[in-house]
Amino acid sequence: MKIDLENLVAQARVARKNAYVPYSHYKVGAAVLTKSGKVYTGCNVENAAYPSGLCAERVAIFKAASEGEREMVALAVVTSNLGSPCGSCRQVFSEFADDDAIVVLAAAQGNRRKQFSMAEVLPDRFGPRHLK
């Protein structure tokens, strides 16, 4: 499967515009590409009761999973400064992604990027295979 990272990042940039961040003011947009070729987007949504908010990455992944998608091949995350997914988001993505899945971090403005494999962002990950 050819992965169009430019399109994935572009969709994450659009999703970032909808971020609800009245407390941190740190907007994040995410887009996940599934093995079926569909893209699901998400933005971070904060809440006055801080733990009740949700990261952009998990919003996108949960949208895909809620539509029946179980195999994800790439995740783009757009922030102002190439912020990386938190541990919870890495773990959730790993539930649906193989070791060679791509994680790309992109700046909201310009062309700054970093790219990793799932195995690089969460080595020796815990997953479904451990529960068999």
Q: Which residue out of 6, 46, 57, 95 is catalytically annotated?
A: 57
Would residue 26 count as lying in a domain?
yes
Which value, in Å, is the radius of gyration of the alpha carbons in the chain? 14
Closest CA to 75 of 109, 35, 111: 35
The rounded percent of the chain whose pLDDT value lies above 90 is 95
Considering the entire predicted model, what is its pTM? 0.96
The yes-or-no answer on residue 57 being catalytic is yes
Q: What is the mean pLDDT of the chain?
A: 96
**Confidence category of residue 128, pLDDT binned at 50, 70, 90:** confident
Would residue 131 count as lying in a domain?
no
Q: How many domains does the chain have?
A: 1
Would residue 23 count as lying in a domain?
yes
**Confidence category of residue 18, pLDDT binned at 50, 70, 90:** very high
CATH number for the domain harbouring residue 60? 3.40.140.10
Would residue 34 count as lying in a domain?
yes
**Confidence category of residue 78, pLDDT binned at 50, 70, 90:** very high
Would residue 22 count as lying in a domain?
yes
pLDDT at residue 86, as a whole number: 97
Range of the domain at 112: 5-122
Phi/psi-derived region of residue 34, left when phi > 0, alpha when psi is between -120 and 50, beta in every other case: beta
Would residue 35 count as lying in a domain?
yes
